[in-house]
Structure 1
Amino acid sequence: MQWSQEEEETAKGKAAENSLIRVQPELQAKYEREASRYWNEFYKIHKNHFFKDRKWLFVEFPEIIPEGKSDRCRKAITENLRCTGLLEDNHLCEDNSAPKVSSVLSACYDNSAADEQIVKSTGKQFPGGDSSYRILEVGCGAGNSVFPILEVIRHHPGVFLYCCDFASEAVELIKSHPLIDSSRCFAFVHDVCDDASPYPFPDGSLDVILLIFVLSSVHPDRIQGVVNGLARLLKPGGMILFRDYGRYDASQLRFKKGRCLSENFYVRGDGTRAYFFTKDEIHSIFSSAGLTEVQNLLDRRLQVNRKKKVKIHRVWIQGKFQKQGELTQE
């Protein structure tokens, strides 16, 4: 939806008002230093009711599916998952009779090895090392993306999923889930802001990296370094798929005075943090990491709670960024 000039000015005014009083520097340092503790506490509290299945992923990001398999599948998914609204970062399908993604895709895959991505062997032993197509989700949380992806890739041999989070509670939630199969998925604790912390796979080994509502929780001064590091993990032709909070989203405007850390960067009552992006910022961040912009769009939605008769303006940024070069086949 398009905002009127009045709505735009009102949003800017609210954001300016709630940023007048900044959090004290010593508290800001504490939120940065103890970020993993706050997220661990978050998952301890919400572990029984936080999970929301992101089946919309395959509509918004069909690139998750290996090339050569996806065209017919993408059409089937789009036709069958009739999602008409969003709740936070999740689509809600109003038609509950729509088939599961797995049932739609099972007819699309023929498991032909000729259609799989072929990559050069690194000569190193690592989880998923013998797979031809590798996906990483950074900031996997409770598995909102992990389990829909696992449900799909079980029909496609050669695909391996890595998922990481710097909250150990989140990773344990995923590891304890009955859908986890160590032959197809590896979950691990990792802090993307820590350059000295190694990944369990070499640089240049990933086809897709998912960044879904992750960068917003990183201090703005460290975001560029995070994206630079992730870009090194991609194969030539690999992609980062991104979705996060946009500037003047309802969640930004709800912050009270005294919760602002720096411009457009806030701390919630539970100690977790959120930054709100513009398209220009996202373009600059990913371009500076050497990636080519394939998509960078502003997604504005009007959510209506009919029961409470409340209208909420949501704003997201969604992007797709590709590493230069072509995959070689042998």
Structure 2
Amino acid sequence: MTEEGFYSFSSQSSRELTEEDNEKLSKQTVISDFKKNKLEIEARKNWDKFYNRNKNNFFKDRNWSAEDLKIICPDIDFEKEISYLEAGCGVGNMLFPLVAEIPKLKLFAFDFSANAVRMLEERAKELELPVATAVVDLSIPSSSSPFEEQVDLATLIFVMSAIHPDKMKIAAENMRNLVKIGGSVVVRDYGINDHAMIRFGREARIADRFYVRQDGTRAYYFDLDELCGFFESSGFKCERKEYLHRITINHQKNLKAPRIFVQARFVRID
């Protein structure tokens, strides 16, 4: 594997930590309860600030998305009209490349951040692309959908990890209200023992595998079976699950960073 940006293989296990990794983890310290509570209260504000500061320049369009979805969901006929929801859409880095490759998608999108949704709407307007949008907090229990219909396919790409672990079950239950029976939710997120998890320093750890970045946004690193448990207990069946192993290479510094992600497909069964 010589090119940055591609995972090298998938497996049913994460990577083993090195002695150096364990030493770095041992030096991480837990933040105060006051700061933990403050981060939870200000979660929306911190993401609004993030998008206001970075606009649509921070995340790159996910041009791998169409190819990967066809591999993960081989039974879905993407030549037919499909209703698709980008849950936790940000500024649409998944949605816009996807519809360019699969033009018959009927588009829906929501995010926690009103600033992100506004920027997505502006880009959709420029492209004359109809997208139904909403501002939604997946961590708050809800028995309904903000849209007029349930969708065939939804994606959660690096979304669950931003939610407090105590509320992830609620997020999975809320996704059940958004997807048709027989519809799919595809999840990709950070995996346990990812290089980024090891790199956090002192005063960044909120709880086990849950961290705060310098900008106040948070990241959780999933065990694969744990992720599946949230959805399987919320009316979904796991059709596919895997750890994605990718090596990110910094040629200038001659460094290799082992990135670990989780990926799974869940089908609503009731």
TM-score with structure 1 length normalisation? 0.71
Aligned counterpart, 2:189: 244
Contact conserved, 1:12 with 1:248, CA < 8 A, in 2? no
> Structure 1 residues 153, 66: CA separation in 2 closer, same or farther (over 3 Å shift)?
farther
AA aligned opposite 2:50: F
- Contact 1:64–1:208 (Cα < 8 Å) also in 2: no
State the 1:150 CA deviation: 2.6
Name the CA distance, whole Å, in 1 between partners of 2:114 and 2:251: 38
Count of residue pairs the alignment pairs up: 257
In structure 2, distance between residues paired with 1:166 and 1:247:
24
Quick check: 1:142 aligned with 2:91?
Answer: yes
Q: Name which one, 1 or 2, has greater alpha-carbon Rg.
A: 1
Counterparts of 1:282 and 1:171 in 2: how far apart (Å)? 26
Q: 1:293 to 1:314 in 2, by over 3 A?
A: same
Q: Which residue of 2 aligns with 1:77?
A: none
> Where does residue 181 of structure 1 map in the other structure?
129
Relative to structure 1, the CA distance from residue 234 to residue 9 in structure 2 (aligned partners, 3 Å threshold; closer, same or farther) is: farther
What's the counterpart of residue 97 of structure 1? Answer: none
Q: Which of 93, 98, 109 matches 1:163?
A: 109
Indicate yes or no: 2:21 matched with 1:11: yes
CA 1:193–1:59: 2 relative to 1, 3 Å: same
Equivalent residue, structure 2, for 1:127 = none
**Residue 12 to residue 294, structure 1, CA distance change in 2 (3 Å):** farther
Aligned position for 1:254: 199
Distance 2:76 2:50 in 1: 40
Q: Name the counterpart of 1:273.
A: 218
Q: For residues 172 and 63 of structure 1, do their structure 2 counterparts lie closer, same or farther at Cα, with a shift above 3 Å needed?
A: farther
Distance in 2 (CA, whole Å) between partners of 1:232 and 1:171 is 20
The equivalences for 1:115-154 within 5 A come to 116=80, 133-154=82-103
- Which whole-Å CA distance do the structure 2 matches of 1:305 and 1:28 have between them? 33
Please show how residues 1-330 of structure 1 align to structure 2 within 5 Å: 7-18=17-28, 21-62=29-70, 69-70=77-78, 109=79, 116=80, 133-154=82-103, 156=104, 159-177=105-123, 178-182=126-130, 185-196=131-142, 199-201=145-147, 205-324=150-269
Q: Is the 8 A contact 2:15 2:193 kept in 1?
A: no
- Deviation, 1:167, is 0.7
Distance (Å, rounded) in 1 between the aligned partners of 2:73 and 2:185: 13
Q: What is the distance in 1 between the residues matched to 2:18 and 2:187?
A: 24
Give the aligned residue type for 2:61.
Answer: D
Where in structure 2 are there 5+ consecutive unaligned residues?
1-8
Residues 143 and 174 of structure 2 are in contact (CA less than 8 Å); yes or no, is this contact kept in structure 1? Answer: no
CA, structure 1 residues 289+11, in 2 after alignment: closer, same or farther (shift >3 Å)?
farther
Q: Distance in 2 between matches of 1:202 and 1:48?
A: 28
Helix, strand or coil: the match of 1:243? strand
CA distance change for structure 1 residues 150 and 64 in 2, over 3 Å: closer, same or farther?
farther
How far 1:286 moved relative to its partner?
1.5
| Shift, 1:13, TM fit | 4.0
Structure with a larger share of its residues in strand = 2
Following superposition, the deviation at residue 259 of structure 1 comes to 0.8
CA distance in 1, matches of 2:135, 2:71: 25
Closer/same/farther in 2, CA of residues 279 and 12 from structure 1, 3 Å limit = farther
2:184 aligned counterpart, secondary structure: strand
> Which residue of 1 is the match for residue 6 of structure 2?
none
Q: Which runs of 4+ in 1 moved over 6 A?
A: 63-66
Q: Equivalent residue of 1:176, what SS?
A: helix
